[in-house]
A and B are shown apart, each in its own frame.
Chain A
Amino acid sequence: MLEQLPALQVAITLTAAPVVMMLGRASRLAWVLTTLSCWASFAVALLLFNQVADGSVISYEMGGWAPPWGIEYSIDAANAWVLVIIGLISALVMPFARRSVEQEISESRIALFYSAFLLANAGLIGITLTADAFNIFVFFEISALASYALIAMGQDRRAVLSAYQYLIMGTVGTTFLLIGIGFLYIMTGTLNLGDLAARLPEVSDTRTIRAAFGFIAVGISLKLALFPLHLWLPNAYTYAPSMVTVFLSATATKVAIYVLLRFVYGVFGFEFSFVELSMAWLLMPLALLGIVVPSLVAVFQTNVKRLLAYSSVAQVGYMILGISFASVLGLTASILHLFNHAITKAALFMAVGCLVYRLGGVSLTQLAGAGQRMPWTMGAFVVAGLSLIGIPLTAGFVTKWHLLQAALEGGLWPIAVLLLGTSLLAALYIWKVVEAAYFQEPEDSTEVVHEAPLGLLLPTLLLTASTVVFGVFGSFTVQSARTAAAALMGGVP
């Protein structure tokens, strides 16, 4: 049983999806089944994480065909870490989803909605697990197709348009990835990541391989919303249903960053990517622009969901910045931020989901008075907001601290100063929300607004609490991120 875990990890949600779809109008049953499969998937992720936490590697041969001919699933500390993120977020978002989805999606579509959610989940898990380049492309498309459907189910008509724009840009991204994989296959005759890593050094000094690197890097950068390829993200996150925004913001871009790391470190290798092609000089300016510009844009937003979406683009910038330091410490900071930002942003978007549930929308004017009317929700928003800014004793601080250390280690003190400055920008846009919610009188003060129902509030508070827990007791996450960084730096699993 235990040796079949890698297959189970993706099979649970993938097989649950069609079953849930066939439930039709039994929407409550669909929710129960989806929740159970997400929890089971999270349990499997934890078991896998536990097995590789010491730095060992699990290699699973799909269907018993030995790699490089068969498809291999391989799990090391790096992708087990990402699996835990996906598992945790999907396990927590499901209790939140029940009432939020009942309100936002029409009854007859709820089963279909959960089915698409399960497919998106399975796709992301598949991308993370597989050690086969073409498999990565296919799973990317599975998760992407399901995400387009999920986003299009938003209530605003602009949801459909943003889903369409995401489809166009996402497809261009994955097709670029496919072209890159084709170039790699021409030169090496293999698709297995480990096998590729072994065969590439021989042919790496060719234009084909350099072109492959370019196509793959640009294609994945589109998927992970690296500035200035982020244009699909703000609209998609703003108009998607609350639960979809929580899930996608916490997992989709993180998984794409993991794939970038896997290709850059695991397949092409540190030497080729950073020494021969000086990738750092490309990533660093984009990361810095990606932190500063979207943060500035976020300050001027009046819709809180859109504000947080721009902040997500900025946070991707932090993760890419860590990679661009080309050091173990920088990579550790990036991997750490995958987790810390996932829980922080999920908590924030859940709080926003609670506000949407009670207030019907989250423009700054609608938020007036929410601080008194929904104290728990706004309290969660403030605490998670502090983590986003990077205040000590929150998860966000642990990453910022490591990023600062990595910057100083590389002698890049101007970047360290800039990091402190951008934290102020984050403080500025979080403050805007706080000011609207606590210090402005609602237009209609006789209107009675209750605190969000417990089903929505509990997961929100749980995630918010976890941002504090992982901020105070950061040593566990730091240790796991170090092991993951070592696994990536050491080559392919």
Chain B
Amino acid sequence: MEWLGLYNYWVVVALMMIGFYIVIAQGNLIKKLVGLNIFQTSVFVFFISLAHLDGGTAPIALPGVTAYSNPLPHVLILTAIVVGVALTAMGLALVVRVQEAYGTIEEDEIHQQDELH
């Protein structure tokens, strides 16, 4: 049952596929962004998982502790989260302007409107 021991990676893959599927399959611009967020978050979980060490603690030198989790992926993901927030904000701002310009945020309705012009 070794493969079950790495269940966090299975969760990562499942989340990744769910998110990616939503990005591709959904026609609603907001739902697409939600999918994109799930997709990105799965990568964050992946990075944090790979830093984990069984029995490891925070990387602070303490007497009697020998196993530490790797802090570098945590730092990387802190940066990636900030990037993700900026992207979501940017995406939502664009959706607001799409709504203002077209009166809808459904992809097929938007394309219909553009074809009429």
Contact = CB atoms under 8 A, between A and B. Distances in A.
Contacts of B40: 171, 175
A152 B47 contact: no
B49 to A, nearest CB: 10
B71 interface: no
A178 B29 contact: no
Contacts of B11: none
A182 B87 contact: no
A138 B79 contact: yes
A179 interface: yes
A207 interface: no
Given A148-B90, A175-B43, A186 B50 contact: yes
A172 interface: yes
Given A171-B36, A179-B43, A182-B50, A141 B23 contact: no
Contacts of A30: none
Interface in A169-216: 171-172, 175, 178-179, 182, 185-186
Interface stretch (A156-164, A412-420, A454-462): A156-164
B46 A168 contact: no
B32 A157 contact: no
Contacts of A149: 90
A252 interface: no
B68 interface: no
A327 B110 CA distance: 46
B17 interface: no
A145 interface: yes
Contacts of A167: 87, 90-91, 94
Contacts of A161: 98, 102, 110
B116 to A, nearest CB: 13
B76 A160 contact: no
A460 to B, nearest CB: 30
Contact of B94 (A160, A171, A172, A175): A160
B18 interface: no
B46 A179 contact: yes
Given A164-B29, A175-B43, A185 B73 contact: yes
A45 B83 CA distance: 27
Given A134-B76, A163-B94, A172 B39 contact: yes
Nearest to A172: B23
Interface string B78-110: 011001001100110011011001100000001
B2 interface: no
A97 B101 CA distance: 26
A164 B94 CA distance: 6
B90 A160 contact: no
A171 B110 contact: no
A138 B79 CA distance: 8
Contact of B86 (A145, A157, A172, A175): A145
A176 B58 CA distance: 29
A172 B43 contact: no
30 contacts: A134-B76, A134-B79, A138-B79, A141-B83, A141-B86, A141-B87, A145-B87, A145-B90, A148-B90, A152-B94, A160-B94, A160-B97, A160-B98, A161-B102, A163-B94, A164-B29, A164-B98, A167-B87, A167-B91, A167-B94, A168-B23, A171-B40, A172-B39, A175-B39, A175-B43, A178-B43, A178-B80, A179-B46, A182-B46, A182-B50
Given A179-B46, A182-B47, 7 more contacts: A138-B83, A141-B87, A145-B87, A164-B94, A167-B87, A171-B36, A175-B43
Interface of B: 20, 23, 29, 32, 36, 39-40, 43, 46-47, 50, 73, 76, 79-80, 83, 86-87, 90-91, 94-95, 97-98, 101-102, 110, 114
Interface of A: 134, 137-138, 141, 145, 148-149, 152, 157-158, 160-161, 163-164, 167-168, 171-172, 175, 178-179, 182, 185-186
Q: Which 9 A-B pairs have the closest CB atoms?
A: A157-B101, A164-B94, A160-B97, A141-B83, A186-B50, A167-B91, A160-B98, A134-B76, A182-B47
